[in-house]
Structure 1
């Protein structure tokens, strides 16, 4: 007797076994054994009749692929195609925080971390690089900004919609007051899944500051200094043990050091000549590289404009027009950040609405020295320099002096 039946018909006679297979309680070989048992039972049910063949069409049971999940404190964070990929991710996370060219002494983490082989995923399967990014930042697609010339943290905060405190928290390694051009700023809150503590041994060359000595000279004005002999930095080789928590240095111990090159003294000339004798050349240079008048000297809106406004972008350098001494460098009412320079013989120049002031009172400046940058502080409707020339305290038209 030939038996020609479908596997689904066999399952209909053996419901419990069918359900187990459909629920994938049996995998691979176990399924084959279960089917063989079913076939055997059917053959035996032939009442001892001669059965020469069993023409069985096996129903297709789809294979569930095995993946490798990284679990942190028992929760799946990300899955990888292979165990090797999962191990590469964990190695990559350590390398992300490790200093370049350092020797890793030890590392540990607060969380329990395991690689689990599973067919039941509760997270996404990602490539190695994206998985590393996810673990160290808490997001697959972190948004960043590259610092450009003139940028401040306030500018980036305004552009990104993040508060200053949020930006500072998201970028613990940066100095908010000294952003560097090309530096990458995170525009998201970092919530790493792992908190790694790495102990490294770092060898580096460190600069040794050179000492400075002064010699007085009557050829320079008081407060004025000039280099006579350039100093030279020294160097020392230092080996340090550094402890980092997610890349932030929390402890540092110097293990050994050796001087490679001694520093050389820098000799400075220090002026003694009285400032009362300082007189400008009487010939002015331009206060900026590009001059575009946005408001001239004279009558304006029923009043009198005491200087000339030159329009330029924020941060444009402002130069002193002649030799002189800084007599004022601070915020003053509607002028905003203001620099006043005395050129002797009653001649004075004012530079108003500055963004940054780069000099201090008493500084001797020479024609063409940068003293500030263009801004819009005080009462100003846009970025510009308000430039005044005063003779014995009285404002006069600056243009004939330019």
Structure 2
């Protein structure tokens, strides 16, 4: 089945939908049973989608879980109340005191904070590695290294990792391989064919797609699915039926939204590449982006998120550029239908294995569904303010 057809049909089992196109919103805490035998049978099958208790899920959540697992190619999917909760839930499900975690240096900042501030207190140590590392990864694996965590492309600086090679090395040492797959969404790369054991996503972003849902997911291969399923339940992780419904509805248009936003982003990026203020782009489709060749090999499409690195400029000029935009809004998320712009500061302070020269300002752009020409005009006015601020400061 082709990708676009699978997006429309995934998770639409009649057992969940009762023949309705979209599964109803089943809100539930208590599930009642006809008899002790009925309750007993439900208990035996609760891990396989039998209605048992609201925290286990209802057909609304089951439909979303099935859809994500089918699209990513995993054995099962657990849902969490945010992407960060999904990352924390996975790490706490597989790591224990005395274990060592290898974490990519370009990781999402809250994930780094989780490792440094929470896991460390549980006796779990973390080492950070260069996202562009190759065979040298093997030298960083310790006797107690339990897992290797990837994020590709990396947060903010967009390095694309050589996931197949790094997974092969990790598996030689019996390490679990974990991937934050949010950028690709469930459809633009196949993590399990590359050697990933557990794929994590912020459903908040492109899957839900409308900036009104907080949710995360973790999809595991057969080897690790049951442990992930049981431990996420023990951690009390669950999501509402209403949010699951919204995520399912967003999922159905994921492909067309991603394609349009990717097209818009390329048009804006190509314009930015010619600007004299720009040093280089951090967009996986551009050859100067670290890991571009891996992106070409492993990904089937892009999206609207990329970064642009400017030539050194005073902060007053960057503030003038970012403030007073018409279409680009200031916001910390991405993946919705709207365009966002952030000036990312202090990257050098959240890197320990690699160096970042903070004299080159970095702007992260999320390109939405607005007309690309309007977005370009908005940026052009921003650069006019940028130069006016420099002139006024002299």
Higher normalized strand content (fraction of residues): 1
Q: Which has the higher Rg, Structure 1 or Structure 2?
A: 1
TM-score, normalised with respect to structure 2: 0.25
Q: Which has the higher contact order (CA 8 A, sep 6+)?
A: 2
TM-score, normalisation: structure 1: 0.24
Q: Larger % of helix: which?
A: 2
